[in-house]
Structure formats: C-alpha cells, structure tokens
Amino acid sequence: MHLNYKSGVALIICVMAFAGTHAQGGTAANKARLLMNAGVAHERLGRNEEAVADFTQALAMKTLSREDSVRAIYDRGVALDALGKTKGALADYAAAIRLKPNFAPALNNRANAYRRLGRLAEAKRDYLAALASGDAAREYSYYGLGQIARQQGDFVTARDYYRKALDANPAYALAAQSLGELHDNALPSLVLRAPPTKHGLPAPKVVAANEAPKPVPVRDPPKPAPVPAQPSEADLLLRKAILDSRTKTASIAPVSPAKPSAEIQLGAFRDGASATAAWNVLVGQSGGALAGLEPRVVPVDLPGKGRFWRLRAGLGSAAEAKAKCAALAARGLACLVPRD
C-alpha cells in the first residue's frame, strides 16, 4: 500500500488508537510492549515529547525484558536528544550501555552528544568502543572520528577516517560529502556511488547566485533506527503503518529563480548532479520533514577552492528554518540556516 505523508500519519495515529484499546484487555507485558512501539511511532513522526512519555510509561511498568528495556531506554535517549535535552539523553545512553556494554548505537549516539559538547576525548573513547564491539555499521564510528579530527584541524586524519567510513559503506553520502568539503580529488566518483532514487524524480533547476564563502558545518551521522522486539498482531499493524508512511515519494517541482525569504542548507557538492541526487536521497531519509519543500541548487565559486553547488530549500521565515533544521538534525541529517 502506498501512502503520502499525511495519510501515513493518519494511519499511524489510528493504529496507535487501536493498539491502546487492544492493550486494555491484555497483560501488563503486552501493554508495555505496545507503549514502547507507540513511542517508536511518535519519535518517527517528530512527536518527541509524546515519545518520551510512552517510553517512560513502558519502563515504569517493569515488565519489559532486559533487551526491550535496553531499546526503550536508548530510544527515549534519542527522543530527548532530538528535543535538545542533552543531559537527559546522555543519562539514557549511559543506562543502556550499562545494561548492554557493547551496544554500538548507544555508544555512537553518546559519542555524538559528547562531541557536540566539546568533550572530544570522551567522544573518541565511545567511537572506538563502538568499533571494538564488532558492530557491522562501522561507517558511523569512522565518520564520528573523522569529525573529531576535523574539529581539531587534523585534516589528513579526518580524510583517512572518512575514507574508512566509505570503505565500510560506499553509499554513505555524508562521508563522501565531507571528503568533498576537504577538497579531496576522489569526491565526484564517491558521491556518484550514492544509490539512485527508486522513482526517478526530476531534477531541480539550478539558479544563479553570488554568495560569499561560509564555514563548513560539522555534522552528526544518522542515528540507527530502533529494532522492535518480537511483534504481536497489533505490533505488526503498527509496523506496517510506519513503513507505509516512510515509503512516500516527493516530487521536485520546478522552482523560481527568486530567492525565498528564508532557507535551509542541506549540503555542498562538487557538481550539480550530486546535489540533485542528494536531495532525492534526503527526501526518503527525512521522515516527511522535507515534504512539500522546493529545492534550490545554487552554484558558488569559492576563492582558491573552486566551484561548489549548495543544496537548499526555502521556508517562510527564519524561525521555521531553525525548527526544520532541528527536526532534520534529530534524524541525523545535516542542516544549517545560511546567514545570507
């Protein structure tokens, strides 16, 4: 079944209501499990306050298995992180790690939080611990180590870590983009390895712009998606609703050369085709946050660095742009509000 974003949201809410009704006659363990899955749905819809409440209620029932408790504590940390409540997020990541010391997603996310706070030694320790855990998704840890090296001005080491991230996952666009921002000659071939969009969306128009150089932002890797426990019938309905809402597509409509009143910037690339391909990928990863927005691919010539293509999207106001960047950052996607 194919759903657009609005109908996907409506279906999830309906399924959650059904799950709540169903849970009233079930065991305490089933109720806790359904609350946990409602939290997952709320988090994916960007309703993080509701997600925190769901996970907290599920944990308070003290009927979850050890593995489910780890996931609920970790997922609550993700929601708190998205709300900017870093102290609470760090406490939950630490609690999840105490219960499961080799839990790489919690190690990586705690490392991201430490790095944002400037606690680089602790961040590096957690990234290395995630690598030592044997986690298959090694690209996130390598990318984080590259970001630390970049913050410290060690661009040679940063490039090495970005390359390791791409060796672990050749389609990891953030690592390829970061290599390009460090002006690595291998960027074009690396960026073009990103998987093409399934639906073949048309490209946005490239519009002229005369922009001054901007400092390159430091970006966090995407947060690993929660893995649900063995589902009941109600759980399966909820998963189906979530998956349906995430398989939506968004058309890239022709855009006007006129600059909107406010914008967000989602990346800078060495060619326009890479910027276009990145938009198509980001639409699918954004959980609906980019739905209805029109992209602009803006070329800019930076002295001594050459030409870059900046991927942007317009919004109605600076406040909306900041809120949109916060929503995207909560999903681990790069976003900034340009000053111009």
The answer to whether residues 64 and 29 touch, using CB atoms and an 8 Å cutoff, is: yes
Round to whole Å and give the CA distance between 90 and 297. 37
Round to whole Å and give the CA distance between 196 and 269. 16
Going residue by residue through the chain (340 aa), what tens digit of pLDDT does each one get?
Answer: 344 444 444 445 554 554 454 444 458 778 888 888 888 888 888 888 999 999 999 999 999 999 999 999 999 999 998 888 999 999 999 999 999 999 999 999 999 999 989 999 999 999 999 999 988 889 999 999 999 998 888 989 999 999 999 898 888 888 888 888 775 333 333 333 334 444 444 444 444 444 444 454 555 555 555 554 454 544 444 444 444 444 433 333 333 345 677 899 998 887 777 788 788 788 878 888 888 888 888 888 777 777 888 888 888 888 888 988 888 888 888 888 887 6
pLDDT in tens, 245-287: 444 333 333 333 456 778 999 988 877 777 887 887 888 788 8
Round to whole Å and give the CA distance between 234 and 215. 48
Pick the CATH number of 201-216+252-340 from 3.30.70.1070, 3.30.565.10, 3.30.2130.30, 3.20.20.70: 3.30.70.1070
Round to whole Å and give the CA distance between 136 and 35. 29
Beta-bridged to residue 311, according to DSSP, are 267, 297
Per-residue burial over 262-288, b if 16 or more Cβ lie within 10 Å, else e, is bbbbbbbbbbbebbbbbbbbbbbebbb
Could you tell me where the DSSP H helices lie in the chain? 5-24, 28-44, 48-60, 66-82, 86-99, 104-116, 120-132, 139-151, 155-168, 173-181, 187-191, 233-246, 272-285, 318-330
Through-space distance between the first and last CA atoms of the chain, rounded to whole angstroms: 42
Q: Would you kindly state where each structural domain of the chain is located, as residue ranges? A: 201-216+252-340
